[in-house]
Amino acid sequence: MSTEEQSLITTEVQTENTTRADRPDETVLEARSLDVYYGQDQALTDVSIEIPEHKVTAMIGPSGCGKSTFLRSINRMNDQIDACRVDGELSFHGKNVYDEDVDPVALRRKIGQVFQKPNPFPKSIYENVAYGLRVQGTVDDVDLDDAVEQALRGAALWDEVEGKLDSSGLDLSGGQQQRLCIARAIATDPEVILMDEPTSALDPVAASKIEDLIDELVEEYTVVIVTHNMQQAARISDRTAVFLTGGELVEFDDTASIFEDPADDRVEDYITGKFG
């Protein structure tokens, strides 16, 4: 074997051993000087952040700090609130999602969302996942069956529901319902999944399954998660953004840096519980 061949093998092995944290950052979402108002109230103040692809980015901060507002701004869920006004820029792959030519429905297919409370449709497990695919135009039954199975597998739910796809999604446990919602979100092949406190309504075992799932999902998708559970942010995220009162993004860094040696004293006070 030539030296060159050996060197190629060595490189391959090194690449396989590279951890998620070591991968170079490719920005998928970027906010620049983002301000969000609800009527006269300012919910986000001059937020600038670059969210890396195929990583888990956690948003933490006290209630009312604007972290959920930021999440909803990403896929324009705030459009549904009449009094909401957005200034500044929020781009997805360099394109401002607030440009007039952006279709919010199409945007939400690329940037899916999972909510705090599991919210399956009152339909069968199969239809919960197939719904978005039908809307998107996947009509072939075989393709649809495959896509539903793949989505359910991707959400680590397939083994538990394989024999009862016609049962109502509402008959599943809370944790299973949340994974069904994740399956629904990934069925339309998004690039980003936004999660707004996805485990806060679940028991610890169900929550840990979701956390394991997030760890797998990030191989295929970018995950942005809002959580009140700081230990959860520390466990599962690569980057952590800390919002504080007034909708200010105070610090954004590697999760280990935030939880071991935050640069901002206000962040130190918040995460150690001295805040307030």
Partner 1 sequence: MARIEYQEQLEQLREDVLEMGDVVCQRLRRALEAYETTDAALANRVIAGDHEVNELYLDLEGECIDLFALQQPVAGDLRFIASSFKIITDLERIADLAVNLAEYAKRGDPERYPDIDVVHIGTEIVLLVEDAMRAYATNDADATYEVAATDDEIDELCGRASRIVARDLVETDVVDDDLLEEVSRMLLTIRDLERVGDHAVNIAARTLYMVENDDELIY
Positions touching partner 1 (CB under 8 A) are 230-231, 234, 258-262, 267-268, 271-276
Give the Å distances, CA to CA, from 136 to 110, 148, 153, 180, 181. 12, 13, 20, 18, 17
Residues 202, 146 contacting (CB under 8 angstroms) = no
Q: How far is the CB of 273 from partner 1 (least distance, A)?
A: 4
Q: Is 272 exposed, middle or buried (0-12, 13-18, 19+ CB in 10 A)?
A: exposed
Q: Pick the closer one to partner 1 by CB: 123 or 235.
A: 235
**What are the start-end ranges of the H helices in 88-193?**
104-110, 125-136, 141-154, 158-161, 174-187
Q: How far is the CB of 262 from partner 1 (least distance, A)?
A: 5
Q: Which amino acid is at 62?
A: P
Q: Pick the closer one to partner 1 by CB: 19 or 231.
A: 231
Q: How far is the CB of 275 from partner 1 (least distance, A)?
A: 7
Q: Strands 192-196, 222-226: parallel, antiparallel or unpaired by DSSP?
A: parallel
Q: How far is the CB of 256 from partner 1 (least distance, A)?
A: 10
Q: Pick the closer one to partner 1 by CB: 73 or 255.
A: 255
Q: Pick the closer one to partner 1 by CB: 126 or 243.
A: 243
Q: Pick the closer one to partner 1 by CB: 86 or 271.
A: 271
Spatial distance between the Cα atoms of 137 and 252, rounded to a whole number of angstroms: 39
Q: How far is the CB of 266 from partner 1 (least distance, A)?
A: 12
